[in-house]
Structure 1
Amino acid sequence: MSNPLFVGIDISSKDNVVCCLSNDDEKRPISRFSVFNNRPGIFELKDRINQLVSKHDFDRILFGLEHTGCYSTHAAIYLHRHLDFACPDVKVYMFNPSLIKEFKKAHFLDAPKNDRFDAWYIAARLKSGYLPHPFTWSEPLMALQRLTRARYHLMQALVREANFLMSNLYLKCSDYSLVFSNKLSATSLAVLEEFESAEALADASLDDLMEFLIQHGKNRFDDPQAVAKQLQKAARSSYRLPKAMSDSVNLAMASSIRVIRTIQEQLQSLKKAIEDHLKTIPQTLDSVPGIGPIFASGIIAEIGDIHQFDSHKQVAKLAGLAWTQNQSGDFTASSTRLIRSGNRILRYYLIEAASSVRVHDPVFAEYYAMKKAEPKQYAHKRALALTARKLVRLVFFLLKSNQLYQPKGGNRQLN
């Protein structure tokens, strides 16, 4: 009969609080201790666990940790890869903190919140069974994940800064948005910096404005004269600001533009690093029209080892692309929401990829159009989420089979 040791570890930036349970009916821990969350501390943990294994003849060790971002990464890697324990069967499990929280609520109504009890709850959760897939570590994928998450962080910062810039832009030139579809293009930002007010833009020489657009647009405008006329028309129809407020708005906009340009430069640098890193990882996702190296990298870095998933439904749930069910008796709600759990970064890359694929692939374009025509509210968001869910199935199949994508339904996808 198996004799496992369940080790719950509550991770913090400084300490790892450890609680060890055996497989008997006793709830009392066979050992409790605390070590520093550093290299000497993890080796001390190994020695103390090996002493327990020798004393009680354990033949399996199950380590449980909450997934607490960077604080749990080193501990999980060392437990999985770098430490030698007195028995060969060692597995590490990373729990979503919400699962431990719900486990506590389900079993203990007055559960206290402290490190000692939290470590016991994690060990008890290990002992209860129905465990996630054991933690696996791939150095290339984790390195790629650092890059794709950095890009995600910068993209969120770019959106926030762009929204702030747009609020000031409306004050400076309220009809400016009618001219450039991309307000953050190099030409658009140059116009905002060059002209201090809507009046200055309206009073500028048409020939000088055309030359300015040609120079900063690098001859990409088909009709620079028409663009110049649109700019001056928008400037004339815009609201006017008092001088003091105009100076303040210009200063705020200049600050935002510098931040945006810095972010754009860093995004280009990250793009090159991601593309170079992806070349070292075998994958076929970029064979799908609309999925380039960036989206492929973001998806595979967050999914990790595809073999830990038995179906595409599990991948969709990981990404938060699954819908809650609202049913009681004979009633079943026709409108439900996406689940609130899930990896928001994986969901971001899948939705961005779906938005691109629907433009380039007729199968996904037809599916998106069909779903967009169904509801009266949130049509685009709902259709895009459903398209991303359809893409999950394709992603799962391509990663599992390592096949290239065949357009127009050529791939026989797994159920």
Structure 2
Amino acid sequence: MTSPLFVGIDVSSKHNVVCCLTRDEVKRPLSRFTITNNRPGIQELKDRISKLVKKHGFEQVLFGLEHTGSYSTHTAIYLQQHLDFGVSDKLVYALNPSLIKEFKKANFLDAPKNDRVDAWYIAAKLRAGNLPHPYTWSEPQMALQRLTRARYHLMQDLTRESNFLLTNLYLKFSDYTIAGPFKQNTLGVTSMAVMEEFTSVEELVDISLDELITFLVHHGKNRFDDPEAVARSLKKAARSSYRLSDSMADSVNLAMASSIRVIRAIQQELKVLKKAIMDHLETIPQTLDTVPGIGPIFASGILAEVDIHQFQKQQQLAKFGGIAWNQSQSGDFTANRTRLIQSGNRYLKYYLFEAANSVRVHDPVFAQYYAKKREEPKEFANKRALALTARKLVRLIFYLLKNNQIYHPEGGMPQNHK
């Protein structure tokens, strides 16, 4: 059989640098060229590779490119889905940039860094073997991924803006989140109304109890079991809080009003995304939402990042999601304290931890496991317990997706999903 053609592509926003290697030539490229990163460019790539295939009789072509976010997406999709190079076997690999970096470091200590060299190293890595699962394209999964990743970024924005709001809230009303009635739901509708309506703690102290009760009932839509107790708690927290000068209070109120508008806008966009995510999830067969605590949002966030066919073992899925621990061992010494690896898919890691935190509340098996790990005499007990619970959840997710089975809590037997 004729040796395969290895095509390394270094992708950028404007251009793709291409290097073609064979099994025979160790360093010298069979061909090297640069194309634009657009439709005419990808067509030129097709024509050039097709000519090489025809001229040298290659029966297999391996394409490799670094997974550089959106810049590599179109190229990978066209190579895998739309282009025919006249060979019976075509494989496309979207490689983690760190994989190429380590390959370069392992083989050449002082290698230069430029697009031509990088394309060569990508092709050389293809030739060296030990490659990940080939790239696959799933339109429903990619569409869902755009939505779940957008939600992830909005949640990061919401957390950052909320934290900034709380710093200003402490200046304005220092005991609000410590002794106030809304410390468990500081960003709730009624709590936000209090922040906006009362410009100083003095106003809360001076308002009559009946007026404050009426205000709370109105904005809380009569959902408080004991609005008078809420009002008294709020006034007590106001009396014990620090006071601000008028000029300082004006600046703090303006900053808080800006943060509140941003938070409300983000919350509205999250509602829109939630509806779209739920609609897309209905088009994807899955069983993750049979696990108590994994609703459509967490199920979508996991499914959008995972092609279960790429993983042969649950350990591989855990490492891909960043839920694996570094080892520190030398001779007879083994470190007792280790950290989670820094690599892995950050979106998947986020949704796995969020799902684990929800499942440990709703499922008795995971609740018991979390409580057991939290009680162990270790540092960072809560974070450690949640990470271990997420790792346990990965094993379940792998099993359910691999076997297309429904989860039955408390040791029930899983069944095939119809």
Instruction: Give TM class, smaller chain.
Output: over 0.9
Matches within 5 A, 1:132-281: 132-177=132-177, 178=179, 179-180=181-182, 181-281=184-284
Matches within 5 A, 1:207-356: 207-303=210-306, 305-356=307-358
Matched, 1:387 2:389: yes
Aligned-residue offset at 1:2: 4.4
Structure 1 residue runs without a partner (length 5+): none
Paired residue for 2:123? 123
Aligned-residue offset at 1:88: 2.2
Distance 2:61 2:273 in 1: 40
Which residue identity does 1:378 align to in structure 2?
F
Which residue identity does 1:242 align to in structure 2?
S
Matched, 1:65 2:65: yes
Partner deviation per Cα, 1:12-58 (whole Å, 9 max, x = no partner): 00000000000114211010000000011001101000011111111
Which residue identity does 1:77 align to in structure 2?
I
Aligned-residue offset at 1:410: 2.6
Distance 2:412 2:325 in 1: 28
CA contact (8 A) 1:7 1:63 kept: yes
Paired residue for 1:11? 11
Distance 1:56 1:199 in 2: 85
Paired residue for 2:113? 113
- CA-based RMSD of the aligned residues comes to 1.1
| Aligned sequence identity (%) | 72
Distance 1:58 1:361 in 2: 55
Matches within 5 A, 1:16-95: 16-95=16-95
How many residue pairs align between the two structures? 412
Distance 1:317 1:205 in 2: 58
CA contact (8 A) 2:190 2:219 kept: yes
Using the TM superposition, name which of 371-380 and 140-149 deviates more: 371-380
The normalised TM-score by structure 2 is 0.97
Paired residue for 1:410? 412
Aligned-residue offset at 1:215: 1.0
Which residue identity does 2:150 align to in structure 1?
A
Aligned-residue offset at 1:335: 1.6
Aligned-residue offset at 1:412: 7.0
Using the TM superposition, name which of 306-315 and 148-157 deviates more: 306-315
Distance 2:86 2:317 in 1: 35
CA contact (8 A) 2:408 2:414 kept: no
CA contact (8 A) 1:3 1:57 kept: no
Structure 1 stretches of at least 4 aligned residues deviating more than 2 Å after TM superposition: 409-413
Distance 2:292 2:248 in 1: 48
Distance 2:409 2:272 in 1: 32
Distance 2:269 2:86 in 1: 47
The normalised TM-score by structure 1 is 0.98
Aligned-residue offset at 1:250: 0.2
Using the TM superposition, name which of 336-345 and 324-333 deviates more: 324-333
Which residue identity does 2:224 align to in structure 1?
F
Distance 2:53 2:377 in 1: 59
Aligned-residue offset at 1:409: 2.4
Aligned-residue offset at 1:70: 0.3
Which residue identity does 2:285 align to in structure 1?
P
Partner deviation per Cα, 1:244-298 (whole Å, 9 max, x = no partner): 0000000000000000000000001101111111011100000000000000000
Aligned-residue offset at 1:306: 0.8
CA contact (8 A) 2:17 2:116 kept: yes
